[in-house]
A and B are shown apart, each in its own frame.
Chain A
Amino acid sequence: MLDVGRKRASELGFSGMEWLQGNAECLSSIADNTYDSYTIAFGIRNVTHIDKALKEAYRVLKPGGQFMCLEFSQVQNENLRWLYDQYSFQAIPVMGQLIAGQWKAYQYLVESIRQFPNQEEFAGMIERAGFAFVRHENLTFGVVAIHCGHKL
Chain B
Amino acid sequence: MLARYLPLLQCYGNIMGRTTIIARPLLASNFSTNRTTSQDANASAQSEGRREEQDSSSKEDDVKFKIFNAALPLVHQLGWTKECLEAGAESIGLSKSSHGIFEHGGTSFVHFFHRNCNKELRKIAKDEQIESAKSDELTKVHQLLEQRLQMILPYLPQWPQAMALMARPHSSLDSYKLLYELADDICFFAGDRSLNATWYTKRAAVAGLYITGELSLVQDKSANCDESWRMLARRIDDLRKVEEFGGSCSRQQEILKDIAQSSLTLIRNLTGMQSYQRNSR
* A-to-B contact residues, CB < 8 Å: 36-37, 61-66, 132-133, 135, 148, 150, 152
Assuming A152-B59, A152-B60, is B97 touching A64 (CB within 8 A)?
A: yes
In angstroms, Cα B94 to Cα A65, docked, is: 8
Assuming A133-B60, A152-B59, is B93 touching A63 (CB within 8 A)?
A: yes
Q: Tell me the dominant secondary structure on chain B's binding face.
A: helix
Q: Tell me the dominant secondary structure on chain A's binding face.
A: strand
Q: Could you list 20 A-B pairs, sorted by A, with CB under 8 Å? A: A36-B95, A36-B96, A37-B95, A37-B97, A62-B94, A62-B95, A63-B93, A63-B94, A64-B94, A65-B97, A66-B98, A66-B100, A132-B60, A133-B101, A135-B103, A150-B97, A150-B98, A150-B100, A152-B60, A152-B63
Interface size on B, residues (CB 8 A): 15
User: What is the 8 Å Cβ interface bit string for chain B, positions 120-137, against chain A (1 contact, 0 not)?
Assistant: 000000000000000000
* A62 nearest in chain B by CB position: B95
In angstroms, Cα B95 to Cα A36, docked, is: 6
A sample of 14 more A-B contacts (CB under 8 A), given A64-B97, A133-B60, is A36-B95, A37-B95, A62-B94, A62-B95, A63-B93, A63-B94, A64-B94, A65-B97, A66-B98, A132-B60, A133-B64, A148-B100, A150-B97, A150-B101
Minimal beta-carbon separation of A87 from chain B (angstroms)? 32
List of B residues within 8 angstroms of A135 by Cβ: 103
In angstroms, Cα B59 to Cα A66, docked, is: 17
Minimal beta-carbon separation of A145 from chain B (angstroms)? 16
List of A residues within 8 angstroms of B101 by Cβ: 133, 150
Indicate whether B89 reaches chain A with its CB closer than 8 angstroms: yes
User: What is the 8 Å Cβ interface bit string for chain B, positions 100-113, against chain A (1 contact, 0 not)?
Assistant: 11010000000000
In angstroms, Cα B138 to Cα A98, docked, is: 77
CB pair B95–A65 under 8 Å, yes or no, is yes
List which B57-83 residues lie within 8 A (CB) of chain A.
59-60, 63-64, 67
* A148 nearest in chain B by CB position: B100
List of A residues within 8 angstroms of B60 by Cβ: 132-133, 152
List of A residues within 8 angstroms of B67 by Cβ: 64
Assuming A133-B101, A135-B103, is B95 touching A63 (CB within 8 A)?
A: yes
Minimal beta-carbon separation of A38 from chain B (angstroms)? 9
